[in-house]
Amino acid sequence: MVLPSGLALPPLEYTVALLAGTLVVTALLYALEPPIGQRTVVALTPWMALGGALHAFHQPPIEAYRPVVAPLFGAPAVYLTTLVTLGVVWITLTLFSVRRGHSETISRNLGLIGTGLLTVLLVIAVVMALESGLLGLIWPTVAVVVATVVTAATVLAVALWRTPVVVRMRYAAPTVVFAHMLDGVSTAVGADVIGITERTPIPARIMEFAGTLPTASYLGKGWLFVFVKLLVAVAVVFLLDDYLEEDPAEASLLLALVTAVGIGPATNNIVLFLFSPV
């Protein structure tokens, strides 16, 4: 198994509605052909994080949704819910921007709206955690700061080693690396500090192996997962470098998907950590 435990399809009517919405927005975006490039990867990142945050509100101890909408935010339904919402916003921005002759602003505005929504949701999470007496800001902050520092050091090292790669992927490379570093670091914090059990089999196996090493008593078991995530992120940057030059649109969409795999679970962790005052 490679998928997280706890995945369950919502009731049939929700599944049909989500699939139909996904098909419609995908078809419209394909027809409208909004400009897609490295900036799009950056613009989509807060939306991917938004999906992770929305799913956190579905999990204990938060469980904030009313029963009528709760099925939309379980896993994997939340990914389609976020995709449909993103698609509607993206289509609207494309229509208005093209009409006004400013298609170059689509990615910027898409990113700003996603960042705004994510910020509002994080503020709501902080307020809810504060009101419940569970607010913990230390470890979410530590995870973000460590991920940022490791990302900066990694991108700098790659730039010194293979400068053309970072020049060509100056937007996508830091985004991909940060997404996976935040996922790796937050997962390590959850496992070693907060005591959260990892639901995804592969990270769980990696950390289980790390727990058998002599370093376990000094470094814990999460460090190996962070290292693996770092290697994977850097490998993706190198592997997609030529592809990005050959087909910027397809490569950017693939990079966005890779980013989503990191930033979604990472944000889910961060929001849950707010309710874990360790």
For 149-158, how does the pLDDT look when each residue is reduced to its tens digit (9 = 90+)? 999 999 999 9
pLDDT tens per residue, range 145-188: 999 999 999 999 999 999 999 999 999 999 999 999 999 999 99
Per-residue confidence (pLDDT) for residue 278, from 0 to 100: 64
Number of H helices and E strands in the chain, helices first, is: 12, 0
Q: Determine the Cα–Cα distance for residues 276 and 138; give it in Å rounded to an integer.
A: 10
Domain residue spans in the chain? 12-273
Say which residue the tokens 């990191």 belong to. 262
Of residues 232 and 215, more confidently modeled: 232
Residue 88, C-beta contacts closer than 8 angstroms, at least 6 positions apart: 25
Q: pLDDT-derived band of residue 71, with 50, 70 and 90 as boundaries?
A: very high
| pLDDT-derived band at 197, boundaries 50, 70, 90 | confident
Other Cβ atoms closer than 10 A to 137: 13
pLDDT for 20 equals: 98
Which residues touch 145 (CB under 8 Å, ≥6 apart)?
Answer: none
Please report which confidence band the pLDDT of residue 247 belongs to, taking 50, 70 and 90 as the band edges.
Answer: very high
